[in-house]
Structure 1
């Protein structure tokens, strides 16, 4: 009793795509704390620039846009190991996430600071709650940058990520 391969793919791939869309990646507006063990001159807080890079002493610009924290840590470690340090030990943490935005039928739309573990209901609460015209069953998350933004339907418990744009639509009756 085996399922055909194409049916198995149809059943499994959407779940994998939905999971991948909730993984945090670094982008401009984030601020990172980089600690290089026993290298005080390389340790500090670094903003991610509009081009998705940080500028690290000795190493210069390092592209981190769209990398997970682990991948960014590996990239920094590998860059420092290429002629700068013998065996660099690097740790990386986000000290300030880029904001998220909530628009549409909320009482106070705008830009808000992101908090880890946030969902749509938390975001709406920050935005002053739903207006009386809000269609609470028609909420959309726009995720990504302008060049690769995707549109996702959202429920009250949907995860919000830094940089997301949440749109609460108006109901018509």
Structure 2
């Protein structure tokens, strides 16, 4: 009987030893750590992909870089531009002309001249060529933009609509002209549609992007 009591006492002592050591600081138990497994598909972590099922932000940035790399290219005329055309020595021809909906300007003597897609210098050359063909022997023509065609801003802004373009304007300044963002606007980036020589191009761009005349800015509604 006494032997059985001894064995029980020894078992209790061995059981109490780790508890005593832990309480005395000899045994340290690391705190629990929460871990999150990385998703098997990296695109699943991209909020753009989750919210819109579209290309991830890196791909959108690449699209914007390709679409707007030519922001400093020569200015191309289109409907809505107003030009000051000077034919030296010919006061009847020197005047302000607007590019009409068909993309042309109409002048005395020579009639319509295609302007869409041309630079002001190329348009001046085309006008001189028409004047030289039976009207003026050696015409000297200069053309410059007097007023650019407007830009458009739509979506989540206070006052969407059409506004005059100002040189070196950015998306941020365009939003300010339209009264600022609405409470539900997505403020990190916008969509811009721009007409290039190859046709309309659309890209998602940051607020510091330079605009061009005729651009259409769309401010999306945020999802959360």
TM-score bin, normalised by smaller chain:
0.7 to 0.9
Q: Residue 20 in 1 paired to residue 70 in 2? A: yes
| Segment of structure 1 superposing worse, 98-107 or 21-30 | 21-30
Larger % of strand: which?
1
Q: Match of 2:209, SS?
A: coil
Q: SS of the residue aligned with 1:46?
A: strand
Tell me if 1:124 matches 2:175.
Answer: yes
The C-alpha deviation readout for 1:115-169, integer Å capped at 9, x for no partner, is 1111101100001111222112230111128x93210222112111111110011
Contact 1:107/1:128 (CA < 8 Å) preserved in 2? yes
User: Which shows bigger deviation, 47-56 or 132-141?
Assistant: 132-141
Shift of 1:15: 6.7
Q: Give 1:86-125 correspondences, 5 Å limit.
A: 86-125=137-176
| C-alpha distance in structure 2 between counterparts of 1:28 and 1:53, whole Å | 8
Q: Deviations for 1:79-138, whole angstroms, at most 9, x for unmatched residues? A: 222222111111111112211110111111111111111110110000111122211223
- In structure 2, relative to structure 1, the CA distance for the partners of 1:19 and 1:70 (3 Å cut) is farther
Give the whole-Å Cα distance in 2 for the aligned partners of 1:110 and 1:135: 18
Cα RMSD after superposing both structures: 2.1
How far apart are the structure 2 equivalents of 1:75 and 1:19? Answer: 28
CA distance, structure 2, for counterparts of residue 109 and residue 162 of structure 1: 16
Residue 28 of structure 2: aligned partner: none
Structure with a larger share of its residues in helix? 2
Per-residue deviation, 1:20? 2.9
Do structure 1's residue 75 and structure 2's residue 148 form an aligned pair?
Answer: no
1:148 maps to what in 2? 199
Distance 2:65 2:155 in 1: 28
Higher radius of gyration, 1 or 2: 2
User: How many residues align structurally?
Assistant: 159
- Is the 8 Å Cα contact of residues 22 and 159 (structure 1) preserved in structure 2? no
Q: Where do residues 54-69 of structure 1 align in structure 2 (5 Å cutoff)?
A: 54-69=105-120
Equivalent residue runs for 1:33-52 within 5 Å: 33-52=84-103
Aligned partner of 1:53 among 104, 107, 112: 104
Stretches of 4+ moved more than 4 A in 1? 14-17
TM-score (norm 1): 0.83
